[in-house]
């Protein structure tokens, strides 16, 4: 059967992330943390990172919760709580900086999806490294999803659900960040 990683060291980090993102949905907090290019250009640089953890609405939050749970089921045992936190911070910063530097058309941005793409890519590479054949399928699946998004553009249906344009650029930036984060894995022995 399928064993879920229910030990507190595996369960608490994603649970904390989910609760944190819910708390950050409070309107006054959300307004202070959202990626807003104009305000960042005026010196509110924290928004580059904090925007990764706030959401446009509860549907947006819930969609990202599904992603967090999916990653927990697949790869929780690969990360200690410290590594989990470091990965979320590094990929959040990477994604936010990437949007700020390379996506000038994105004026407002929120959501975990960019950094979650990085987390899942790192996990797929770790799967491959430890000999899990499903890692190749997962990596190819993410690669195909990213290619499709770049070709077809953002989903209008999901955009309506989250009350915002889906920032597919963040998915690509996050996934690239996941590859960069996984580079040390390539030099580790099995």
Residues 61, 43: Cα–Cα separation, whole Å:
27
Are the CB atoms for 131 and 124 separated by under 8 Å? no
Reported as a single tens digit per residue, the pLDDT across 62-118 is 999 999 999 999 999 999 999 999 999 999 999 999 999 999 999 999 999 999 999
To 5 degrees, how large is the angle CA 16–CA 17–CA 18? 90
Tokens of 69: 């749970």
Q: How far apart are CA 50 and CA 183, in angstroms?
A: 25
Q: Are 32 and 110 in contact (CB under 8 A)?
A: no
CB atoms within 10 A of CB 54: 26
In angstroms, rounded to a whole number, what is the distance separating the alpha carbons of residues 44 and 40? 4
- E strand or H helix at 35: strand 35-36
Q: What is the pTM of this model?
A: 0.95
pLDDT tens digits, residue range 110-150?
999 999 999 999 999 999 999 998 999 999 999 999 999 99
Residues 158, 159, 164, 166, CA torsion sign: positive
CATH number of 9-187, picked from 1.10.287.3510, 1.20.58.760, 1.20.1540.10, 3.40.1710.10: 1.20.1540.10
């Amino acid at each position: 059967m399928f064993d879920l990683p229910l030990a507190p060291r595996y369960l608490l980090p994603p649970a904390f992330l989910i609760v944190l993102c819910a708390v950050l949905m409070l309107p006054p907090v959300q307004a202070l943390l959202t990626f807003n290019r104009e305000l960042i250009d005026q010196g509110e640089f924290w928004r580059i990172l904090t925007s990764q953890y706030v959401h446009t609405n509860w549907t947006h939050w819930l969609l990202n919760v599904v992603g967090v749970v999916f990653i927990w089921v697949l790869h929780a045992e690969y990360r200690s709580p410290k590594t989990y936190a470091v990965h979320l911070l590094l990929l959040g910063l990477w994604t936010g900086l990437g949007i700020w530097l390379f996506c000038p058309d994105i004026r407002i941005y929120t959501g975990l999806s960019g950094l979650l793409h990085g987390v899942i890519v790192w996990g797929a590479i770790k799967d491959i490294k430890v000999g899990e054949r499903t890692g190749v399928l997962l990596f190819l699946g993410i690669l195909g999803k990213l290619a499709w998004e770049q070709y077809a553009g953002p989903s209008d249906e999901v955009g309506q659900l989250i009350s915002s344009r889906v920032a597919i650029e963040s998915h690509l930036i996050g996934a690239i960040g996941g590859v960069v984060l996984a580079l040390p894995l390539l030099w580790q022995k099995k």
